[in-house]
Amino acid sequence: MDLKDKTILITGGTGSFGKACVKALLEHHEPAVVRVFSRDELKQSEMAVPYKDEDRIRFFIGDVRDRDRLVRATRGVDLIIHAAALKQVPACEYNPFEAVQTNGMGAENIVTAAIENDVPRVIQLSTDKAVNPVNLYGATKLCAEKIITQANTYAADSDARFANVRYGNVVGSRGSVLPLFLRQAQTGTLTITDERMTRFWITLPEAVEFVLESLHIMEGGEVFVPKIPSMRVRDVADAIAPDAEHRIIGIRPGEKLHEVLLTEDESRHAQDLEDRYAILPEFPTWRTAAYRHGPGLQDGFRYSSDTNERWLTADGLRALLPSLEPVA
């Protein structure tokens, strides 16, 4: 999908991904308008400051729980990037129905607004925690994936198409372990849940590029998974503060030792696209022809952070973040 002269709406547009995506779109893709849709007027006013001379950006106050507001905000839109979510695991556990309303019902409202306004493309951001979920955040994002995928059925008689992207931890985003370690480094002691723990890692620019590239190849119903490196949590700690003491506090409720981006069951209906995997829909009732993306995967294939072929070391993380200085 060529984004030049297109009108793009980003839900959760004042978040880490949203801000990076707006910047990339305006600098490299020549859109007609980028609409930032979010709940917090303060964050919008702060985000607007560097764009005071930019006439291609609009700020919409609204909540993805509010279907009518979404319908209004998506009029005339060519693309929706759905990044809004409640994603803090403890907050979702303590406030379960709030997570259901934002992450689950919010996705359904996106579908309704997109179909009502004939939005050609919708892509939703998901997470590795949606795979075999052990916490409510992951469970609601799994529901959101299913809602977005099956939306193609309801839009079968239109040009609207829906897809998901699913990736791991974003380096330096709000809520990631990186800012926590940076704060703790000042004390000389870092808290580590379990030194065996591994996670998938992707930088913000890589995440934005992955989403925008997936738009060009989506046909509707896919879950796109990037091929990204894993990293051990102890190596993250060593990258931030190599001389700091490690205090083991144990895995927290709702956490896994390792994360999975693609299961053995999903691999049976997935394809290898060289730099990413495409998990194809199991019930593509809206299609009359077969998907033609790439070769299938080996039987029993599982894409897990502990058995990944690519690994990021402490030195590798520092190379990704040249402005990040180790704290002694």
Are 139 and 104 within 8 A, CB to CB? no
| 235 membership: H or E segment, kind and range | helix 233-240
List the strands of the sheet with 276-279, edge to edge: 57-61, 33-38, 7-11, 79-82, 121-127, 161-167, 223-226, 276-279, 270-272
Measured N-to-C along each axis, helices 106-116 and 136-154 cross at an angle, to the nearest 10 degrees, of 20
**Residues marked as catalytic:** 129
- 301, two tokens: 């294939």
CA dihedral (62, 216, 76, 34) positive or negative: positive
Length of the chain: 328
Nearest Cα neighbor of 164 from 254, 38, 261 is: 261
